[in-house]
Structure 1
Amino acid sequence: MTGVTRAGGAGGGRPELSAGAGLSTDGLPSWLDPVAEAARTVQPLQLSRFLPPESGAGRQSAVLILFGEGAAGPELLLLERAGTLRSHAGQPSFPGGALDPEDGDPADDGPLRAALREAEEETGLDPAGVQLFGVLPRLYIPVSRFVVTPVLGWWREPSPVTAVDPGETARVFTVPVADLTDPANRAVTVHPSGHEGPAFLVESALVWGFTAGVIDRILHYSGWELPWDRSRRVPLDWRA
Structure 2
Amino acid sequence: MDPTHSSFLAQLRADLQGPLPGRPAQNRMAPRPRPGDIIPEQAGAHVRRGGVLLLLYPREGQIYLPLILRQTYDGVHSGQVGLPGGGYEEADGDLTQTALREAHEEIGVPPEEVEVLGRLSPLYIHASNFLVQPTVGWIGYRPAFHIDPYEVARLLEVPLLTFLDPSRLRQEEWQLRDRVALVPFFDIEGQTVWGATAMILGEFLALPAVQALKQAVN
Above 0.5 in TM-score?
yes
C-alpha change, 1:85 and 1:158, in structure 2 (3 Å) is: farther
> Is 2:159 the counterpart of 1:176?
yes
RMSD, aligned CA: 2.2
Aligned positions, number = 193
Matched residue, 1:129: 113
Of 117-126 and 178-187, the range deviating more from structure 2: 178-187
> Is 2:91 the counterpart of 1:102?
yes
Q: Kindly provide the amino acid, as one letter, of the partner of residue 179 in structure 1.
A: T
Of 194-203 and 139-148, the range deviating more from structure 2: 194-203
Three-state SS of the structure 2 residue aligned to 1:150 is strand
Q: Which has the higher contact order (CA 8 A, sep 6+)?
A: 2
TM-score (structure 2 length as normaliser): 0.79
Q: Kindly provide the amino acid, as one letter, of the partner of residue 87 in structure 1.
A: V
2:23 to 25, 33, 45: 45
2:194 to 183, 208, 213: 208
> Is 2:56 the counterpart of 1:67?
yes
Matched residue, 1:30: 7
- CA distance in structure 2 between the aligned counterparts of 1:177 and 1:117, rounded to whole angstroms: 23
Of 175-184 and 31-40, the range deviating more from structure 2: 31-40
- CA distance in structure 1 between the aligned counterparts of 2:69 and 2:106, rounded to whole angstroms: 10
Q: Kindly provide the amino acid, as one letter, of the partner of residue 170 in structure 1.
A: A
> Is 2:72 the counterpart of 1:78?
no
Do the aligned residues in 2 keep the contact of 1:129 with 1:157 (CA within 8 Å)?
Answer: no
1:111 to 69, 79, 95: 95
C-alpha change, 1:185 and 1:67, in structure 2 (3 Å) is: same
1:148 to 132, 139, 155: 132
- CA distance in structure 2 between the aligned counterparts of 1:83 and 1:70, rounded to whole angstroms: 30
Do the aligned residues in 2 keep the contact of 1:76 with 1:177 (CA within 8 Å)?
Answer: yes
Within 5 Å, give how 1:155-234 maps onto structure 2: 155-164=139-148, 166-192=149-175, 193-222=179-208, 224=211
- CA distance in structure 1 between the aligned counterparts of 2:163 and 2:26, rounded to whole angstroms: 19
Structure 2 segments unaligned to the other structure (5+ residues): 28-36
- CA distance in structure 1 between the aligned counterparts of 2:167 and 2:61, rounded to whole angstroms: 17
Three-state SS of the structure 1 residue aligned to 2:104 is helix
- CA distance in structure 2 between the aligned counterparts of 1:142 and 1:79, rounded to whole angstroms: 21
Do the aligned residues in 2 keep the contact of 1:185 with 1:200 (CA within 8 Å)?
Answer: yes
Q: Deviations over 1:65-115 (max 9, x none)?
A: 1011111501111111112241311111000000011112xxxxx111111
Structure 1 segments unaligned to the other structure (5+ residues): 1-27, 105-109, 227-240
- CA distance in structure 2 between the aligned counterparts of 1:54 and 1:146, rounded to whole angstroms: 9
Of 77-86 and 190-199, the range deviating more from structure 2: 190-199
- CA distance in structure 2 between the aligned counterparts of 1:123 and 1:54, rounded to whole angstroms: 30
